Structure 1
Amino acid sequence: MKAITQRILGGPEVLETEEVDIPRPGPGEVLVRVAATSLNAADWKLRSGVVTKLGPPPFTLGFDVSGVVTGIGSGVSEFAPGDEVFGNVVSRNGAYAEYVVTPRDFLAHKPAVLDHVHAAALPTAALTAWQALTEVQAGQRVLVHAAAGGVGHLAVQIAKERGAYVIGTARTANHDFLRGLGADELIDYTTTDFTMAVGDIDLAFDLVGDDYSERSLGVLAPHGRVVDAQGEEPLDDPRYHRHYFTPSGADLSEVAALVAAGRLRGEIDRVMSLADIAEAHKLSESGRVRGKIVLTPWT
């Protein structure tokens, strides 16, 4: 099968297409024929060495998958060959490939209302937002930074689903899009300092990094908190929490129920082939993507 690998850390040019063996599922694992995967910021951070959680190359990136089950390991009863599934892959052999193996607990049945392209856009981004906002209560004020991005636009919807008043930071060009998702108030970060525009925030969700978490501490309500999904250097403040998503088929099933009910939708910026992976990484790294970039296998 084909897979995207890299032998060294570096820019998008280090990503290469190679022929490798189709993996075999072990106990508790599922083999999926990849119909689509999607790009997350973690992908280019790992590729370049900004993040080192996968260890040194070689490895294959790709945390999201939507596809069809083609094999199961011993002990798997939740899925059978032919099932359409979506979920996460967290290993050195990721979903930038024609086939991938992942634990059964990382998968859920794909909602029938979604095609594989739209399903592949959800797992990492939706779980990041879902789990980060789990304590949000009706009437609270939630500030979402980078609200039009892959995680941000889902966070806006999930916070609204939980009854929050949602404020987002995004370029003016994305304001109508975000209002359509339920955002109550929007700030153009290119022209306005959000610290001068909002206050009494119960939860600030940082999807930017840099100094956004530190600055967000200044706009919190007395019992407010900052949840940071981007920063590489955690802050020493009891109101600050560094958030990492946890792969969970159970949580994805709840996300799928919202999608099936028409109460959550993922935005696709564009669909590209894995043959164009370097260009896709350049686009993702530019920070000018609305929603997600989805990748389909070679054609």
Structure 2
Amino acid sequence: MPQAVQLHNYGDIDVLKVEEVPQPTPAAGEVLVRVKAAGINPGEASIRKGVFKDTWPSTFPSGQGSDFAGVIEAVGEGVSGLQPGAEVIGFTHNRASQAEFVVVPQDQVTPKPANVPWEVAGGLFVAGTTAYAAVRAVDVKAGDTVVVSGASGGVGTLAVQLARLKGARVLGIASPARAEWLAAHGVDLVPYGDGLRERLLEAAGGHIDAFIDTYGQGYVQLAVELGIPPQRINTIIDFAAVQQYGVQAEGNAAGGRADVVAELAQLIADGQLEMPIARTYPLEQVQAAYRELEDRHTLGKIVLIPGKR
């Protein structure tokens, strides 16, 4: 029997188990994918802890994960244009990607470009479409000065690059340890900590056009205090601040489509976008993977690799 990450109740990292599960089979219009790589994301940790149980409740036992890339194993009746053996990038809305096999509707996969590594493809959906939607939400234009908090995280590393591709100047809030990576991607580091407001204004020459918050911890309030219009502030995490200040909260739900994944994958294939991989873990080390993720100090994405290594 194939293996999958399972949890039987809300809780800390130790509730994550890797267990044998029945082999899924594709229904009409669906494809069965053998997963080669599956990303992990902070939102999954919050769901596991029960933070969003009133909005997005879990039914136990529950699987976990949205991102994946793999090889089509079988197709259901009526599927066209996809055949067993095809390499794809995909996503599931059923908390099921952190597994050896996943079944999804055919419109939730897109071909994987040959030169996009498995671990990059497998971690692309959530971070990529979230960054895409956030940059779109604040209407980034050539010549704008844009601030991105959490600029070295999974979403942040992609958001800064997408904003640069729009022709913006980007100030990335991050640790000084990330200065080299940010500079290599045309981003000006502004270290977080006391005095951040003054450092941002100095770096920006006194005017900031837009702010993308990927971290929380009061950055929306800072953006408002900097005089940035609410419609040009977007947070993917601070939903209380959305209610308080009327800023935007566009993310994966707004950008999560196969055509967006395909566009991002092609940018990576063409060398115009990089998704740094902090580390990969075998599926059975899912607890260690989330432990590193929840420390919030990684550069880029952490990805699980199911199956035998």
RMSD: 1.8
TM-score using structure 1 length: 0.93
1:20 and 2:21 aligned: yes
Count the aligned residue pairs. 297
Q: Write the letter of the residue equivalent to 2:212.
A: F
Tell me how far apart the structure 2 counterparts of residues 78 and 95 of structure 1 sit (CA, whole Å): 22
Q: Write the letter of the residue equivalent to 2:71.
A: V
Q: How does 1:145-184 map to 2 (within 5 A)?
A: 145-183=149-187
Tell me how far apart the structure 1 counterparts of residues 245 and 221 of structure 2 sit (CA, whole Å): 12
Q: Which of 189, 194, 211 in structure 2 is aligned with 1:186? A: 189
SS of residue in 2 equivalent to 1:242: coil
Tell me how far apart the structure 1 counterparts of residues 261 and 227 of structure 2 sit (CA, whole Å): 30
Shift of 1:26: 2.3
Structure 2: which 5+ residue stretches go unaligned? none
Tell me how far apart the structure 2 counterparts of residues 200 and 237 of structure 1 sit (CA, whole Å): 23
Structure 1 residues 8-34: Cα deviation after superposition (integer angstroms, max 9, x where no partner): 111111011211111122233221100
Q: Is the 8 A contact 2:129 2:251 kept in 1?
A: no
Q: Is the 8 A contact 2:91 2:109 kept in 1?
A: yes
Q: Which residue of 2 aligns with 1:268?
A: 277
The alpha-carbon distance between structure 1 residues 62 and 222, as it changes in their structure 2 partners (threshold 3 A), is closer
Greater Cα shift, 203-212 or 140-149: 203-212
Q: Is the 8 A contact 1:4 1:60 kept in 2?
A: yes
Q: Which residue of 1 aligns with 2:94?
A: 91
Structure 1: which 5+ residue stretches go unaligned? none
SS of residue in 2 equivalent to 1:177: helix
Q: Which residue of 2 aligns with 1:64?
A: 67
Q: Which residue of 2 aligns with 1:11?
A: 12
Shift of 1:234: 4.3
Q: Write the letter of the residue equivalent to 1:133.
A: V
Q: Which residue of 2 aligns with 1:100?
A: 102
Tell me how far apart the structure 2 counterparts of residues 104 and 123 of structure 1 sit (CA, whole Å): 15
Shift of 1:232: 3.5
Shift of 1:117: 1.3
Shift of 1:237: 5.9
Structure 1 residues 112-139: Cα deviation after superposition (integer angstroms, max 9, x where no partner): 1112112112111111111221232111
Tell me how far apart the structure 2 counterparts of residues 192 and 88 of structure 1 sit (CA, whole Å): 40
Q: Is the 8 A contact 2:230 2:247 kept in 1?
A: no
Q: Which of 114, 117, 133 in structure 1 is aligned with 2:116? A: 114
More helix, by proportion: 2
Structure 1 residues 33-92: Cα deviation after superposition (integer angstroms, max 9, x where no partner): 000101111121111112232424321111110100112223321321111001211114
Q: Which residue of 2 aligns with 1:78?
A: 81
Q: Write the letter of the residue equivalent to 1:85.
A: V
Q: Which residue of 2 aligns with 1:286?
A: 295
The alpha-carbon distance between structure 1 residues 222 and 97, as it changes in their structure 2 partners (threshold 3 A), is closer
Q: Write the letter of the residue equivalent to 2:145.
A: R
Tell me how far apart the structure 2 counterparts of residues 278 and 221 of structure 1 sit (CA, whole Å): 40
Q: Is the 8 A contact 2:34 2:71 kept in 1?
A: yes
1:144 and 2:151 aligned: no
Greater Cα shift, 189-198 or 240-249: 189-198
Q: Which of 224, 232, 240 in structure 2 is aligned with 1:233? A: 240
1:219 and 2:226 aligned: yes
Tell me how far apart the structure 2 counterparts of residues 43 and 177 of structure 1 sit (CA, whole Å): 26
Tell me how far apart the structure 2 counterparts of residues 262 and 54 of structure 1 sit (CA, whole Å): 39
Tell me how far apart the structure 1 counterparts of residues 26 and 258 of structure 2 sit (CA, whole Å): 17
Q: Write the letter of the residue equivalent to 1:230.
A: I
Shift of 1:142: 1.1
Q: Is the 8 A contact 1:42 1:51 kept in 2?
A: no
Runs (4+) of structure 1 exceeding 3 A deviation are: 220-224, 236-239
Q: Is the 8 A contact 2:8 2:62 kept in 1?
A: yes
Shift of 1:210: 2.8
SS of residue in 2 equivalent to 1:65: strand
Q: Is the 8 A contact 1:226 1:239 kept in 2?
A: no
Percent identical among aligned pairs is 34
The alpha-carbon distance between structure 1 residues 212 and 238, as it changes in their structure 2 partners (threshold 3 A), is closer
Shift of 1:140: 1.3
Q: Is the 8 A contact 1:63 1:124 kept in 2?
A: yes
Q: Is the 8 A contact 1:70 1:82 kept in 2?
A: yes
Q: How does 1:124-143 map to 2 (within 5 A)?
A: 124-134=126-136, 135-143=139-147
The alpha-carbon distance between structure 1 residues 239 and 140, as it changes in their structure 2 partners (threshold 3 A), is farther
Q: Which residue of 2 aligns with 1:39?
A: 40
